[in-house]
Structure 1
């Protein structure tokens, strides 16, 4: 557990299904950036926000808000944080290093992309 984030992972075929529980007050730039050393989260997140509320901002200034229950596709190059007093629970599907290719996502957020 890092920064209070709980993670359950199950391997499925050529990918993984993850349940990630982000605690209230969690912010990627505060809690994870010092560990990974990048300015923004450079991972794609594809899945379903089952509980909670998350806000975020891409490097280019585009902002997003996700309120459960909602499907999500967050491109690389973002900061995100949990808002409110409830933990955010994300069910995420990934193919590890091949996630971008498999889901057809760009290597970094481009203004106006879906």
Structure 2
């Protein structure tokens, strides 16, 4: 393992586009596991733009991350919900839907849940 690793999402190891051009997930594969930068464009909704790729009724990924910009509404399968915004640290259990709130893209960093996210079933 190198003593110093510097990577940039502009040179991601993998990019996964969302349905209808509503954003993308850029992944860096690291020694500690995948780290993802997701860009959710205005109008993006998991149940419309990722569900067809995932093939599940709700998002089955657990997320630990940080909201860089924009806002998301997250609704758990049991009805619990919250809105997150730039500057928020988030932990989200599997079993949820989410969508962009407003006219600004939402950008998130995630270091636990994006390894299999938006990967065709």
Same fold per superposition (TM over 0.5): yes
Which residue of structure 2 aligns with residue 42 of structure 1?
A: 60
Unaligned runs of 5+ in 1: 98-114
- Cα drift, residue 37 of structure 1: 2.2
- TM-score, with structure 2 as normaliser: 0.73
Aligned partners of 2:50, 2:35: CA distance in 1, in Å?
21
- Residues 1:11 and 2:23 aligned together: no
State the secondary structure of the residue aligned to 1:94: coil
- Residues 1:86 and 2:70 aligned together: no
Moved over 4 A (4+): none
Cα RMSD, aligned residues only: 1.6
Aligned partners of 2:60, 2:29: CA distance in 1, in Å?
22
Which residue of structure 2 aligns with residue 67 of structure 1?
A: 85
Per-residue CA deviations over 1:53-72 (Å, capped at 9, x if unaligned) read 00011111101110111111
- Cα drift, residue 5 of structure 1: 1.9
- TM-score, with structure 1 as normaliser: 0.77
Unaligned runs of 5+ in 2: 1-16, 117-121
